[in-house]
Amino acid sequence: MSTAADGQTGLVAGKRALVVGVANKRSIAWSIAQALDGAGASVALTFQNERTERDVRKLAETLTNATPVFELDVQDDDMVRRSIDAAAAAMGGIDVLVHAVAFARPEDLTGRFTAITREGFHLAMDVSAYSLLALAKAVEPHMRDGGGGSIMSLSYIAAERAVPGYNVMGIAKSALESITRYLAHDLGDAGIRVNAISAGPIRTLAARGIPGFSEMADTIAARTPLRREITVDEVGATGLYLASDLSAAVTGETLHVDAGYHAMGM
């Protein structure tokens, strides 16, 4: 089976990447981790708690390079700092940070938008948006020491348009993209680039939690200029591009990897 790194051996050789948010072997974060590993980077992974630790460690064992694994709860500032410092110590620095973290309560994704609770709103924003700022703050000293770096996160077109069934997560993704731009300005003097990838619908396990996702994915695929769905490996390849020196002048961007759907009016 081909991967996003096929034909890209050595593209990020010597770079050290921390991938936060790998959930399972079908996740976008895992595709990016594989692409980075296949193109020569050292990769560290994180897990949120004991429930996910076993699966993340099993995935880490399949990568080419020795892959350290660290516990990291993005809502715990002390743990964020400790885990990033530990990852930097284990790899001798951090050049690439992949943020692939998002969560909202199911009841705040369904029904009327006006039914979203204050508590649910705060939770979704904290985990899905503020966490990028928290991680960037912790990784900045290590990237400055290394002469620069690349930070990337995962967004969705619901950041720009109302997508029924996405509700509070759409607001969180809007905030995530805005944070991306402000971080790009704030960290640019150190040669640190910050970008977001807005991926089209992919039939991951996480996507199954969105009501009506299958029908939505079918409709979008039919309306894209390329008349098809995208693959998780195509998003992984974009992550590889953003981690590499090929994107040395790209920052503050939201890159759409959606077969062109974002360009269409209907």
What pLDDT, on a 0 to 100 scale, did the predictor assign at position 64? Answer: 92
Average pLDDT over residues 92-112: 95
Superfamily of domain 16-254: NAD(P)-binding Rossmann-like Domain (3.40.50.720)
Residue 2 has pLDDT above 90, yes or no: no
Tens-digit pLDDT profile for residues 21-73: 998 999 999 999 999 999 999 999 999 988 899 999 999 999 998 789 999 99
Average pLDDT over residues 165-180: 96
- Tell me the percentage of the chain whose pLDDT exceeds 70: 93
Tell me the Ramachandran region of residue 21: left when phi exceeds 0, alpha when psi lies from -120 to 50, beta otherwise. left
Catalytic residue among 166, 182, 241, 261: 166
What pLDDT, on a 0 to 100 scale, did the predictor assign at position 210? Answer: 61
Three-class SS of the chain: CCCCCCCCCCCCCCCEEEEECCCCCCCHHHHHHHHHHHCCCEEEEEECCHHHHHHHHHHHCCCCCCCCEEECCCCCHHHHHHHHHHHHHHHCCCCEEEECCCCCCHHHCCCCHHHCCHHHHHHHHHHHHHHHHHHHHHHHHHHHHCCCEEEEEEECHHHCCCCCCCCHHHHHHHHHHHHHHHHHHHHHHHCEEEEEEEECCCCCCHHHHCCCHHHHHHHHHHHCCCCCCCCHHHHHHHHHHHHCHHHCCCCCCEEEECCCHHHCCC
Q: What is the mean pLDDT of the chain?
A: 93
What pLDDT, on a 0 to 100 scale, did the predictor assign at position 1? Answer: 40
Residue 191 has pLDDT above 50, yes or no: yes
Average pLDDT over residues 171-176: 98
Q: Is the pTM of this model over 0.85?
A: yes
- Is 241 among the catalytic positions? no
Which pair of structure tokens corresponds to residue 48?
Answer: 């949120």
Residue 3 has pLDDT above 60, yes or no: no
Average pLDDT over residues 119-130: 98
What pLDDT, on a 0 to 100 scale, did the predictor assign at position 235? Answer: 97
Residue 4 has pLDDT above 60, yes or no: no
Residue 181 has pLDDT above 60, yes or no: yes
| Angstrom distance (rounded) from CA 155 to CA 102 | 9
Which pair of structure tokens corresponds to residue 208?
Answer: 């199954």
- Is 156 among the catalytic positions? yes
CB 204 within 8 A of CB 26: yes
Q: What are the sequence ranges of the domains in the chain?
A: 16-254
Tens-digit pLDDT profile for residues 202-259: 876 666 666 667 777 788 888 999 999 999 999 999 999 999 999 999 999 999 999 9
**Distance between alpha carbon 140 and the CA centroid of its chain, in Å?**
17
Catalytic residue among 130, 156, 182, 261: 156
